[in-house]
Structure 1
Amino acid sequence: MEQQKLPNATLIIVLSIASYLCCCFYGIGIITAVIALVLAFNSQKIYNSNPEDYSNIGTIKTGKIISIIAIVVNLAFIGLVIWLISELGLEVLQSGDQELIQEKMQELFGQ
């Protein structure tokens, strides 16, 4: 019997890379990373039920690894944004006044 490709392999790779690239958009990439991770786990379950029928498990594993890294990076960025808001204040960040933001950052780091 000819081996077939696991479903959603390309979609998993695309979503996981997109989630990594979207981490700077206030962590919104975490959504696509979680979707890619769920799809990867589902595809791995399909592979584990009949490993001799499928050939591209490496792609699924790669997508899963990229998704996990993207989740960590997105969570770190979300943590950074929360920290900045708590330290500088939302009003300062929303003002858009670069001099005020620089002044607050210098006060924060003691320079």
Structure 2
Amino acid sequence: MEKQKLPNATAVLILGILSILTCCCWGIIGLVLGIVALMLAKKDTALYIENPELYEGYSNINTGRVLAIIGIVLSAIYFIINIYMYAVMGEEGIKDFQQNLIEKLKQQEEVE
């Protein structure tokens, strides 16, 4: 009997990668994608443990799960930083900070 691929192995891997890539989108998108990837990985891991001789692609599940955990951690850190920045500086302070940063970059370009 030929081994079948785990149903969500590719999806978990892709969601894990996307959770890392989207961690800087206010942290929310990366969190959601990482959590979904972990849920799918848990489901497929249970399926694999029941009948390991019937399925292949478990390495994709493990890789996707690790990437999802990394994406969740990075997204959570970025999300907490954003909340802290708004709590401490407010929206006006963040805009001023961005304008000052842009001005400094323009000054560096003029010097070079």
> What range describes the TM-score normalised by the shorter chain of this pair?
0.7 to 0.9
Q: TM-score, normalised by structure 2?
A: 0.81
Give the aligned partner of residue 108 of structure 2: none
State yes or no: 1:15 paired with 2:22: no
Q: TM-score, normalised by structure 1?
A: 0.82
- Structure 2, unaligned runs of 5 or more: 104-112
Alignment-mate amino acid for residue 10 of structure 1: T
C-alpha distance in 2 between matches for 1:13 and 1:51: 19
Give the aligned partner of residue 30 of structure 2: 29
Give the aligned partner of residue 6 of structure 2: 6
After TM superposition, the runs of 4+ consecutive aligned structure 1 residues lying more than 2 A away are: 90-97
The 3 A distance-change label for structure 1 pair 9 and 77 is: same
Give the aligned partner of residue 86 of structure 1: 87
Alignment-mate amino acid for residue 59 of structure 2: G
- Give the number of equivalent residue pairs: 102
The 3 A distance-change label for structure 1 pair 97 and 73 is: closer
- Structure 1, unaligned runs of 5 or more: 103-111
Indicate the percent of aligned positions where both proteins have the same amino acid. 39
